[in-house]
Amino acid sequence: MAVRSCRVTIVDTEGVSHTVEVTAATLYEAVALGLKAIRGHDWVQGFSEQFGTVRVAVTEIPVEHTVKLRDFASWLERTAGSPRDVTARSRVRDILG
């Protein structure tokens, strides 16, 4: 799996965009690392886990993804799948603690 530099952006409940730079091997790993970094700051007012979205822009190649947090949570809760998927979800769960 290739590791890529990504810019992760989420809009808080006050409408303020917060962006962090992360290095990740998968889209959902980038989402998890971004959420972890953004949650760690006092100036973030919180965000909607149910209806919010996370924008992930790959900085090496100009690619941007938008992930609904409810889809991310649903993916994270799955237990079945290919060995690669199971490993990826485990790594993301570890990131989020």
Spell out a b/e string for 16-29, using b for 16 or more CB atoms within 10 Å of the CB, else e.
eebebebebebbbb
Cα distances (angstroms) measured from residue 49 to each of 1, 24, 37, 63, 71: 28, 21, 15, 24, 10
**Residues 12-18, mean pLDDT to the nearest whole number:** 84
Residue of 12 and 93 predicted with greater confidence: 93
Q: What proportions of the chain, in percent to the nearest 5, are helix, strand and coil?
A: 35, 30, 35
Domain that holds residue 46: 4-96
* Domains held by the chain: number: 1
Residue 7 pLDDT grade (very low, low, confident, very high; cuts 50, 70, 90): very high
pTM across the whole model? 0.70
